[in-house]
Structure 1
Amino acid sequence: MDTARNKQLLQSFERSGIMKLFRAEGRIISDGNFEITVLKQSFMMRPAGMFNGSTIATLVDVSSGYAAASITPPNSYFTTVELKINYLNPALGDKLIAKAEVIKNGKRLSIVRTDVVSVQNNRETLVATSLVTLMQLQNTNNETQID
């Protein structure tokens, strides 16, 4: 794993406005694998006490992009082409963890599977699974931001 690329990606993650709002923690697990953890906040919750689907979708999109970026050259970044989510169980608990894994890294398109689990009483429950197609773009302006 390229430590310079890791540093670049984690700095990009820390600049993300939405991830700051979520008070999210991101980490590169290995090449092609990225996790985001968020603790429950009132704006993320439905009145019934579960995490809102939009929170889950945001975590899927962002974690998928960083998983794909973790195995590409430093001057590349991604845009989402397609995002498909299956919501499987109510997202009850104190936190969510999005676990993204690249399953196909092509020249232009990458496919990422992301599972989202909720954690309640130290027990993980799979609440959503997704497939995300991302298109790799090249940063021709030498900007530092990847996301």
Structure 2
Amino acid sequence: MDDLQAFAQTILKSQPFSQLLGAELIRFESGKAELALRLTDTLKQQHGFAHGGVVSYLADNALTFAGGSVLGDAVTSEFKINYLRPAIGERLIARAESLHAGKQQAVCKCEIYAVDAQGVEKLCAVAQGTIVKV
């Protein structure tokens, strides 16, 4: 399992955009992935909550890590996101899991939470996507 986690960390570190945002891979195991990032002012929109693109990035990457954990090297083929409430807090966490995987693709779901200073999580978006083997 440590080798799998180290491999996933290498992939995240090789993504310049993920590094720019400060994303962290906090969980990676077969069929599951969890990404997080600190919600800084530079990642917010004019109303003070997380920009939709930041929430969408977390969903996309978490979905792909979850699918990739069962497929190997993989990319997102498509995904859909529903924003449920403004992402207001100190941190965002995306938890994704593979719902079904075949030889070439996996269908995954993701829940994105905003976490406040006291550690209280509020669901702010959900996503589902198709991840394909490269």
Per the normalisation by structure 2, the TM-score is: 0.92
| Partner Cα distance (1:133, 1:92) in 2 | 28
Secondary structure of 2:70's aligned partner: coil
1:29 CA displacement: 4.2
Q: Which of 80, 83, 99 pairs up with 2:79?
A: 83
Q: Which of 91, 107, 114 pairs up with 1:111?
A: 107
Name segments (4+ residues, structure 1) moved above 6 Å.
none
| Partner Cα distance (1:24, 1:67) in 2 | 15
- RMSD across aligned positions (CA): 1.3
Secondary structure of 1:49's aligned partner: coil
Cα-to-partner distance string for 1:35-85 (whole Å, 9 max, x where unaligned): 11100122210111100110011111111111111223xxx4212111100
1:28 CA displacement: 2.8
Q: Which of 85, 88, 92 pairs up with 2:88?
A: 92
For 1:31, give the aligned amino acid. S
Per the normalisation by structure 1, the TM-score is: 0.84
Q: Which residue of 2 aligns with 1:50?
A: 49
| Partner Cα distance (1:49, 1:20) in 2 | 22
Q: Which runs of 5+ in 1 are unaligned?
A: 138-147
Q: Which residue of 1 aligns with 2:97?
A: 101
1:116 CA displacement: 0.2
For 2:120, give the aligned amino acid. R
% identity of equivalent residues: 26
Cα-to-partner distance string for 1:90-135 (whole Å, 9 max, x where unaligned): 1111110010111111111101100000011321000000101111
Rg larger in structure: 1
Q: Which runs of 5+ in 2 are unaligned?
A: none
Secondary structure of 1:54's aligned partner: helix
The answer to whether the aligner puts 1:32 opposite 2:28 as a matched pair is no
Secondary structure of 1:71's aligned partner: helix
For 1:129, give the aligned amino acid. V
Q: Which residue of 2 aligns with 1:144?
A: none
